[in-house]
Amino acid sequence: MQIKHGLLHPAKFIASPNYDARPENTDIDLLVIHCISLPRGEFDNHNIEALFLNKINPQLHPSFKELANLKVSAHLVIYRDGAVVQFVPFHARAWHAGVSCFQGKNNCNDFSIGIELEGTDDADYLPIQYEKLIVITKLLCQTYRGIIPERIVGHSEIAGKRKTDPGLLFDWSYYKQQVFGDTIP
Nearest to 179 by CA among 146, 138, 151: 138
- pTM of this structure: 0.96
Structural domain for 93, as ranges: 2-45+74-179
Domain assignment present for 185: no
Compute CA 63 distance to the chain's CA centroid, rounded to the nearest angstrom.
Answer: 21
Domain assignment present for 57: no
Domain assignment present for 94: yes
Domain assignment present for 12: yes
Ordered DSSP codes for the chain: -EEETTEEESSEE---S-EEPPPTT----EEEEEEE-SSTT--SSSHHHHHHTT---TTS-GGGGGGTT-----SEEE-TTS-EEE-S-TTSEES-S-S-EETTEE-GGGTEEEEEEES-TTSPPPHHHHHHHHHHHHHHHHHSTT--GGGEEEHHHHSTTT--TT-TTS-HHHHHHHHHGGG--
State the pLDDT at residue 160: 75
Number of domains in the chain: 1
Question: Which whole number is the average pLDDT over 116-134?
Answer: 97
* Interval 94-104: pLDDT, tens: 999 999 999 99
* Interval 17-55: pLDDT, tens: 999 999 999 999 999 999 999 999 999 999 999 999 999
Task: Write down the catalytic residue from 42, 49, 116, 131.
Answer: 116
Domain assignment present for 153: yes
Residues 110, 146: contact at Cβ < 8 Å? no
Find all residues with CB under 8 Å of 69, minimum gap 6, and list them: none
Q: Report the 10 Å Cβ neighbour count for 112.
A: 27
Rounded to 10 degrees, what is the CA torsion of 117, 119, 124, 130? -20
Q: How far apart are CA 20 and CA 35, in angstroms?
A: 22
Instruction: CATH number of the domain at 25, please.
Output: 3.40.80.10
**Residue 171 banded pLDDT, cuts 50, 70, 90:** very high
Q: How far apart are CA 48 and CA 37, in angstroms?
A: 7
Domain assignment present for 59: no
116 catalytic residue (yes or no): yes
State the pLDDT at residue 185: 58
**Residue 184 banded pLDDT, cuts 50, 70, 90:** low
Taking the CA atoms of 76, 25, 150 and 103 in sequence, report the sign of the dihedral they define: negative
